[in-house]
Amino acid sequence: MSHCINSLTMTDDKPFLMGAHAGEFIPADDGNLMNFTIPKAQAKCNFTRHTTARHNLQLIGLVCLLALWFVSPQPLHAQGDMSQAHYYLVPAASTTIRLHTHTADMELGYDGAALVASVNALYRLQNTGAQSVSLTLSLVADIATENSPTSADALPASLPDNLVVLVNQQPLPIIQADDGSPATQVQVPADATLDVRLSYALDLGDGPMAGLTYSPRPLRQWPGQPSLRVSMATIETSPSESWLGIQPEGWNYAPGASTTPRIRWLYDSPLPTQTFRFHFVHPGAWRALVEATTAATPGAPVSEFLRLGRLYGALHDAALDEAQRDRFYAQAVAAFTAGLDNAATSSTPSETVATLHAELAARYRTRSVSAAGAVDRVYMDLLAAEAEQALAGLPVGDPQRSELLQWQVEGLTLQLNDARDRRDWPAAFAALEQLATLPPDAVDASTLRETQRALTVQQALQLLEEGDSEAAMHLVGAQVGDLDLMPPTNARPIFATWQVTVTIAPTQMNLVFAVRAARGREEEALSALTTLAQTWQTAREAGPTPVVTGPTIASQGHEDDVLLMTLSLPPNTGAAALARITPPGADWALARTLLAQLAPRIERESQLLSQQIVVAQPLDLRSTREQWLSVAATLEQQAGQFEAQSPNINLAVVDALAAESALLTRIRAANYRAAALTWRTLARNSLVAVQLSAGAGVPPVTRTWVATPETELQVLTLTADVVSLGRLVAVVAMALAGLFLLAGALWWLL
């Protein structure tokens, strides 16, 4: 197992606050430093370490993994989906009444189960005129995200039952305006101010992360530039070590004696443009993390390290941005690695050790495909190695074995492909031999024979390029690039691989195409993709206009460049129309087949207080493989005919013309076989990753499948059960109404 930790040293046992750089911890009250270094800030480890002795991880340092990142010097890089809908009072029509002062104070409450935020907002209205003014105030909702509409009233306000508007400690009635929106009326005296207070409570959920947000954007609907104060109180169960992000900068602690600090922002005009944010680890998750970290000490049972790693894995899955994902990923890997080190010095059951390897394999798998849809072969190598070690310790019949075996096949296959791309033939044949040792139900024997033959052909091509024709002929025959001896243009593929990532959600469908051009046809591939993008973008018969970005060239280091293109479709829109205008050639078979099938079924069913969301998408790419293999079979048949016309010859005993004719025929046959091999390679290396998202839940419930052109027909289905806010509000409303009627009846009886 490769270690993803280079150094882990501690100078003292004080609580540590996270500094500005990934992997650097700074103590709260002095200058001592603890280093926690993850290579390349992503814990991308050198795979060769899997064959060397395990690096000695100091288990005592694992206690310090609990020190998360206090980010007063480090704002969030990108926002997640923890924002809440806040409510605001804005003038219903143009008015001379100005907002003099606005304050929003938020309190947190946690009873061990529910985490609730109560909001108390003050609107100090100023009338500088000589007569009192009757003012209608609209209640609007605004979600505090950077991509929200610019005006709050663009979002319909669904008011919670706990929302109250007060003037002079007296509640105001909420009425319905002419447009159906909620509103209330106030009377602002002449040459005076009036304080209007708005209060409500929000449920922050029970995910591993929580947060408070508040947007000043709706306040811009008021005349003038008010003074502004926004404060967010913390609670004892969420100490500063559990804080993840505070934004924007310029905040301070509110004065006053308190066991828990209050984060505060103060502004005079003009109003700020940024949303106020305070994100932290959920108190329940933090308590579990503290307990797990305390228990995961040298000599502790391996199950404690397993529990700690899983907690960090949950935080990784819920992280708000890439920086947090990198850090929680590193800590999860460190915890599992420490567990393996501890198991090496104790009598730990093999099944427990295998579970640690399986968890590491699962973590590496989260890094195996980038956001752009490209496969990261380093992580796939790590995945294959960990899956192999997990399989060695799991008993026959364990439900994890089939999934781990598939991961091992994926990793070894990518190792083989990477070695072939680098022309490292010994490594390629070594990976092939490892695949041959797997159970027959995991790898098809005929596929292995075909792959072995393909490797032999490619190795011969390299020998021909190096001028060693004799060795090349010994392997498969002559091969040169004379166009007269090549197959027709339409029989040679433009693309070497297709990797498509499809994301299907109730609100949108996105496709990311990562395409590698066939060697020597890079410009032609870029031009063909550009033409296809223009066709999709401008075709009227395709229904709602899709959004196409690219193609662009993404450099892959030592590998060939990858052409990236994205396609976004509106909700409830199939892609069959785009499939019909996609070129009919074999080069576009995968794109055409995939688009023709993209018509997801999205169902919603309410059950008591919950809502069940079902997202289903059938997927069958076998027709693509059949088309590509059909072209390959035709080329191979023609190659066989050429070979039949050119038996083995001895150049020393035949005349030059006969020898030249026979050699050219064999070269032509080799070229046809090489083209056929390219089609088969295209069918073998292409894949489609489909992610279904329910679009609900914190974080949203998602599931991902990876399919190849030879994958059998399957219906990808995601079923997510989430709380139905509408029904929950209705139940609470009915309960309150019942209490009100009961109180009225008791009052009447008295």
Q: pLDDT digits over 206-235, tens only?
A: 889 999 999 999 999 999 889 999 999 998
Is residue 311 scored above 80 in pLDDT?
yes
> How many Å apart are CA 209 and CA 302, to the nearest integer?
26
Q: 204 or 556, which is more confident?
A: 204
| Amino acid found at 586 | A
| Amino acid found at 603 | E
The confidence score (pLDDT) of residue 251 equals 92
The confidence score (pLDDT) of residue 83 equals 63
Provide the phi-psi class of 60: left if phi over 0, else alpha when psi is between -120 and 50, else beta. Answer: alpha
> How many Å apart are CA 129 and CA 191, to the nearest integer?
6
Provide the phi-psi class of 303: left if phi over 0, else alpha when psi is between -120 and 50, else beta. Answer: alpha
Q: pLDDT digits over 631-669, tens only?
A: 999 999 988 888 787 655 443 333 444 544 655 676 677
> How many Å apart are CA 32 and CA 26, to the nearest integer?
7
Per-residue CA distances from 505 to 556, 575, 591, 701, 703 (Å): 29, 14, 20, 10, 11
Is residue 742 scored above 50 in pLDDT?
yes
Q: Give percent of the chain above pLDDT 70.
A: 75
Cβ neighbours of residue 182 under 8 Å, at least 6 residues apart? 138, 139, 157, 159, 174, 175, 176
Q: pLDDT digits over 69-123, tens only?
A: 333 323 333 334 566 789 999 999 999 999 999 999 999 999 888 899 999 999 9
Q: What's the mean per-residue pLDDT of the chain?
A: 77
> How many Å apart are CA 664 and CA 377, to the nearest integer?
39
User: CA 55, 59, 60: angle at the middle one, nearest 5?
Assistant: 135
3-state secondary structure of 158: coil
Per-residue CA distances from 525 to 24, 405, 458, 639, 680 (Å): 45, 35, 22, 26, 18
pLDDT band at 693 (very low <50, low <70, confident <90, very high): confident
Q: pLDDT digits over 7-66, tens only?
A: 233 333 322 223 322 333 223 333 222 233 333 333 343 333 333 333 333 332 333 333
CA 214 to the chain's CA centroid:
25
CA 745 to the chain's CA centroid:
55
> How many Å apart are CA 71 and CA 286, to the nearest integer?
17
Cβ neighbours of residue 301 under 8 Å, at least 6 residues apart? none
Q: 371 or 386, which is more confident?
A: 386
Beta-bridge mates of residue 34: 25
The mean pLDDT value for 671-677 works out to 85
The confidence score (pLDDT) of residue 257 equals 56
| Amino acid found at 625 | R
Per the confidence metrics, is the pTM higher than 0.85?
Answer: no
> How many Å apart are CA 726 and CA 743, to the nearest integer?
26
The confidence score (pLDDT) of residue 142 equals 84
Q: 474 or 244, which is more confident?
A: 244
Write the secondary structure of 615-653 as one string of H (helix), E (strand) and C (coil): EEEEECCHHHHHHHHHHHHHHHHHHHHHHHCCCCCCCCC
Q: 358 or 481, which is more confident?
A: 358
pLDDT band at 191 (very low <50, low <70, confident <90, very high): very high
Q: 256 or 472, which is more confident?
A: 256
User: CA 482, 485, 486: angle at the middle one, nearest 5?
Assistant: 90
Query: What is the DSSP code (8-state) at residue 732?
Result: H
Q: pLDDT digits over 606-628, tens only?
A: 766 667 788 888 999 999 999 99
Helix residue spans in 442-551 (DSSP H): 445-465, 469-475, 522-538
pLDDT band at 726 (very low <50, low <70, confident <90, very high): low
CA 334 to the chain's CA centroid:
21
Is residue 292 scored above 80 in pLDDT?
yes
Q: Taking a C-beta distance cutoff of 8 angstroms, is the pair 90, 140 a contact?
A: yes
Q: 255 or 708, which is more confident?
A: 708
> How many Å apart are CA 459 and CA 451, to the nearest integer?
12
Phi, psi for 683 (deg, rounded to 5): -70, -30
